[in-house]
Amino acid sequence: ALLITKRCINCDMCEPECPNQAIAMGAEIYEINPDLCTECIGHYDEPTCMKVCPIDNTIIHDPAHKESNEQLWDKFVLLHHSD
């Protein structure tokens, strides 16, 4: 999963772009729910939130939620199996 750092300026560019509805406004800044973030696997070639974020290095790989491509694919299938 990815992580939004304190560099976030709450511009709301990323939230509507997430294919998994993993992004929401938190107490102070936008936050990513690691259970819902597939790093965009299954939807896009690269994380779309990183692409649209106007502030460099605001969205990073979450060191607390490192996942292999296989794990991310499994999450994608679980999240979207009923689509």
Residues that bind ligand SF4 (CB under 6 A): 2, 4, 8-14, 17-18, 20, 22-23, 30, 32, 37-40, 47-49, 52-53, 55, 58-59
Write down how long the chain is. Answer: 83
Residue 60's beta-bridge partner residues? 3
Q: What would the two tokens of residue 75 be?
A: 């999450």
Q: Judged by CB, which is closer to ligand SF4: 13, or 45? A: 13
Q: Could you give the residue ranges of the DSSP H alpha helices within 1-83?
A: 48-52, 69-80
Q: How far is the CB of 12 from ligand SF4 (least distance, A)?
A: 5
Q: How far is the CB of 70 from ligand SF4 (least distance, A)?
A: 16
Cα angle 16, 17, 23; round to 5: 65
Q: How far is the CB of 38 from ligand SF4 (least distance, A)?
A: 5
